[in-house]
Amino acid sequence: MKTILQLSIAFFLFLAGGKAQAQTDGTLDTSFNTGTGIFGSGLSIISQPDGKIIIGGGFTEYNGQPQNYITRLNTNGTLDTSFNIGTGFSSVVWTTALQTDGKILTGGNFTSYNGQTQKKIGRLNTDGTLDTSFNTIVAGFTGDVFVITLQLDGKILAGGGFTENSGPKNHIVRLNTDGSVDDSFEIEEGFNNVVFAIDLQPDGKILVGGAFTEYNGQSQNHIARLNADGSLDTTFNIDTGFAGTTDSNHTGVYSIALQPDGKILVGGTFTEYNGQSQNHLVRLNVDGSIDTSFNNETGFVGTSIHTKIVEKIILQPDGKILVGGWFTSYNGQNQKNIIRLNTDGSIDTSFSIGTGFNASVRTIALQSDGKILAAGDFWEYNGQSAPRIARLHNTVTASIGDFEQSNVSIYPNPVSNEFMISVPSSNIEIFDIMGKKVFEQKNVNSSVDVSHLSKGLYILKGQTERGVFTAKIVKQ
């Protein structure tokens, strides 16, 4: 059975009647006009459905213009002056997340936004103004928020270095859509150290990675899977878990990416998993055991601890794997700070980075046309100027589905609030351009209400007795 990630972004363009210009994958897109770029560090990127780009980080300027810790760019890399941040944030933005209504969740080290108190987390309206309906102003967090992940129901999972938010909340918390604490998420003692990564499974279980070694007093070395209510999922058997450096604050999991088949890609500073050598990248089976079919061999290597981190893992719609971080080689081959792997973990040699980035890649995102956005601490890519942000050419190819697309009709498309589907009794899922599921409906007879989705491109995956089909949906 084909998965949603096997429907390519290239197929998006095909359905839209367009053709992508052939470019060598991995080369710098020089049409992306960043000028002097980011003055500081780029730590988070979101590609909006309209193509605009939200960047958060440790910067105070973009292309010579004051932009304190967050900014939005037009599709060509120029500053979007309609995004009105005022004086912006008071300190670093570590993470951003885009809601289906277009509002932007931010987490970091800040205590104010545009002069208004906002402790470590905030929500911005689509125009960049503060969403004052997001109720976190009074309490807020006691420490940095490093990761924000949205559930399908709109609730918000936040992880970081904090120990309180309206009461003891050790390093992870779930918020309601209005920003209040969801007390049904019972973590009890929680984690004993920082949470850096959170990913959601389709069944509602929650994968968590970080520098911690315990959850609720039980040994959990740097990764855990929680049930939807916050309890520990004891079926996820990591045994001794991750290990590496002698400094516990530097050994940890920084990125988690869930494959459609349920396997789990994990990246970080570790050098071992469950007693076996695994240098900074591993793929786990659904039960937490090592997937030995993943050919990461000697893994990633650098010159010091600060160049041995896998910081970000992104899955392409065709199943290939983009990895960014602070490394110099992978499986004995020179690869500086970014790489694309095949589905089996081998190097994708068609991804031509040359000398790569000259410093760390902290974050990666895919555009709807397949191009790769990267941000971090670098200022060059393959010898060309790329001041902390760059866009690389990229193509994605995959098969369409398990039975003929012509057997399915969806109308109207583009859709405003509701569409009809010609195949009855199907179960459907809708995914955004990053492959994140944003909607599902069981036993569809004819109509589907998508009025709650924001404008943009989506992929519909349907399952019937006759097989699986996929289709593009344009929400207008």
All structural domains of the chain with their residue ranges: 22-392, 405-475
How far is Cα 275 from Cα 187, in angstroms, rounded to an integer?
28
Q: Which of 159, 164, 171 is nearest to 140 (CA)?
A: 164
Non-local CB neighbours of 89 within 8 Å, separated by 6+ positions: 68, 69, 70, 106, 108, 110, 112, 113, 118, 122
**Which residue's entry shows tokens 């069981």?**
442
Mean pLDDT of 129-142: 79
Q: What is the pLDDT of residue 448?
A: 87
Say whether 363 sits in a helix, a strand or coil.
strand
* Candidate from 19-28, 65-74, 345-354 with smallest mean pLDDT: 19-28
How far is Cα 313 from Cα 268, in angstroms, rounded to an integer?
10
Mean pLDDT of 67-87: 98
* 405-475: in CATH 2.60.40.3080: yes
Mean pLDDT of 338-366: 96
pLDDT above 90 coverage of the chain, percent: 64
Non-local CB neighbours of 211 within 8 Å, separated by 6+ positions: 193, 194, 196, 222, 248, 249, 250, 251, 252
Mean pLDDT of 233-238: 96
Mean pLDDT of 233-249: 82
Predicted confidence (pLDDT) at residue 214 exceeds the cutoff of 50? yes
Predicted confidence (pLDDT) at residue 461 exceeds the cutoff of 90? no
Q: How far is CA 375 from CA 73, 207, 261, 287, in A?
A: 13, 25, 29, 33
pLDDT tens digits for range 35-74: 999 999 999 999 987 889 999 999 999 999 999 999 999 9
Q: Are the beta carbons of 121 and 105 closer than 8 angstroms? A: yes
Q: Are the beta carbons of 296 and 278 closer than 8 angstroms? A: yes
Q: Are the beta carbons of 192 and 213 closer than 8 angstroms? A: yes
Predicted confidence (pLDDT) at residue 247 exceeds the cutoff of 90? no
**Which residue's entry shows tokens 């079926």?**
235
Q: Are the beta carbons of 244 and 301 closer than 8 angstroms? A: no
Residue type, 289: S
Residue 229 has a CB neighbour count (10 Å cut-off) of 12
What is the 8-class DSSP label of residue 423?
S
User: What string of DSSP letters covers 159-204?
Assistant: EES--BSSSB--SEEEE-TTS-B-TTS--TT-BSS-EEEEEE-TTS
Q: Which of 401, 406, 447, 440 is nearest to 424 (CA)?
A: 447
Q: What is the pLDDT of residue 5?
A: 38
pLDDT tens digits for range 100-132: 788 999 999 999 999 999 999 999 999 999 999
Of residues 460 and 134, the one with the higher pLDDT is: 134
Predicted confidence (pLDDT) at residue 17 exceeds the cutoff of 60? no
How far is Cα 455 from Cα 101, in angstroms, rounded to an integer?
8
Q: 244 falls in which pLDDT band (50, 70, 90)?
A: confident
Q: What is the pLDDT of residue 284?
A: 98
Q: 1 falls in which pLDDT band (50, 70, 90)?
A: very low
Q: Which two tokens stand for residue 245?
A: 């450096």
Non-local CB neighbours of 383 within 8 Å, separated by 6+ positions: 354, 355
Predicted confidence (pLDDT) at residue 3 exceeds the cutoff of 60? no
Q: What is the pLDDT of residue 404?
A: 41
Confidence (pTM): 0.82
Give ∠ CA 202-97-34 in degrees, rounded to 5. Answer: 130
Strand partners, 317: none
Q: Are the beta carbons of 119 and 139 closer than 8 angstroms? A: yes
Please state, rounded to an integer, the average pLDDT across all residues of the chain: 87
Give ∠ CA 308-221-175 in degrees, rounded to 5. Answer: 95
pLDDT tens digits for range 145-195: 999 999 878 899 999 999 876 667 899 999 999 999 999 999 999 999 999
pLDDT tens digits for range 367-403: 878 899 999 999 999 999 999 999 999 987 543 333 3
How far is Cα 61 from Cα 39, in angstroms, rounded to an integer?
5
Non-local CB neighbours of 458 within 8 Å, separated by 6+ positions: 430, 431, 432, 433, 438, 450, 472, 473, 474, 475
Q: Which two tokens stand for residue 336?
A: 């500086």
Helix, strand, coil shares of the chain, percent, nearest 5, are: 5, 40, 55
Q: What is the pLDDT of residue 464?
A: 66
Task: Tell me which CATH code domain 22-392 carries.
Answer: 2.130.10.10
How far is Cα 196 from Cα 143, in angstroms, rounded to an integer?
13
Q: 451 falls in which pLDDT band (50, 70, 90)?
A: confident
Q: What is the pLDDT of residue 261?
A: 84
